[in-house]
Amino acid sequence: MDFDSYMEVQMNIRVIGIPSNVGALYTGTELGPKAFREAHIIEKLSKKNLIFDLGDLDIDNTSIRHNIGAIRNWPAPKMMWDKIMDHNNIFVQGDFTIVLGGGCSVFTGVFMNFHKFYGDQAQILSIDHHIDMKVPSPDICIGATAFTLYFLTHKNQWVKSIDGFDNKKITSMGFNPKTLDATYSTEGVRKYDKHILEDKPRQVAEDYLKNLDADAKVLLHFDLDAISADEITSVYMPSPDGLRLKTIATLLKVICKDKRIVGMVLTEYSPSLDSSEDASKIVQFLEEIFI
């Protein structure tokens, strides 16, 4: 980067990959970080930002795999979260961090690291086709992805929940109301469903920021299954009735300009399903947000 370009730098952005599939039944999401790198994410974001590439964590995706309730592949997800927690420079004051997943279950470990760094200021904004706050049942085996937010907010036998962190510090956007039932513990979560978001993305962004605590530090979780499957097909669980990528871009162009938003976790990209240029689409989307 030459001197003139350096003077135009908008942000310091830290980029780290977490190539994990341990929270899922099938493989594929562990290839996400590599696909984004091959789509030149570092080079694209470097046009106007100072990038610190932290590389990819070394995740063991093969050692423990089973389908025994209540949590698939347990304790492999916890082993992954412990490795994330051991990383001391994912977050730095004044920098924006982009985490390239990996399956949704990486978010639990990333947020525990985030909360360790920011403490009581830490909050979550989740853009997802689902609200990952299902209550575990010993009678049913489900991937750790479905319990991502539950683990962080409720006392449970699998993960030490965060003292003082509860549903009121979580905002969910873009979810399909039809995916919720009595097995989800979402009371207190601030909600903007997919119908509200697709109608008024800019107004949703402005309303969210207006009501956000002045000293908040927000980690944004963007699950790519929030995007309609006819736009992005290479997702672990594509959503035929998801949002347009343009809608989410309109939302995030407003939200990510706010200094209280200090990180993004991008999950569920599965290039094993990719028959198009989906990785390039996502990188172009990120370039549009951060350039």
Residue 211, domain CATH: 3.40.800.10
pLDDT at residue 207 is higher than 60? yes
What is the C-alpha separation between 113 and 108, in angstroms, rounded?
9
The pLDDT of residue 9 = 61
pLDDT at residue 282 is higher than 80? yes
Domains identified in the chain, total number: 1
The pLDDT of residue 138 = 87
The token pair that represents 160 in the structure block: 């030490």
The pLDDT of residue 63 = 82
The pLDDT of residue 64 = 87
Question: What would the pLDDT profile of 60-118 be if each residue is shown by its tens digit?
Answer: 998 889 999 999 999 999 999 999 999 999 999 999 999 999 999 999 999 999 999 99
Confidence class for position 164, pLDDT limits 50, 70, 90:
confident
Task: Determine the structural domain holding residue 34 and report its residue range.
Answer: 3-290
pLDDT at residue 242 is higher than 70? yes
Higher pLDDT, 266 or 9: 266
140-161: average pLDDT: 91
pLDDT at residue 5 is higher than 70? no
32 and 273 in contact (C-beta within 8 Å)?
no
Helix axes 245-255, 278-290, angle to 10 degrees: 30
| pTM above threshold 0.75 | yes
pLDDT at residue 6 is higher than 80? no
What is the C-alpha separation between 197 and 204, in angstroms, rounded?
7
- How many CA atoms within 13 Å lie on the side-chain side of 247? 20
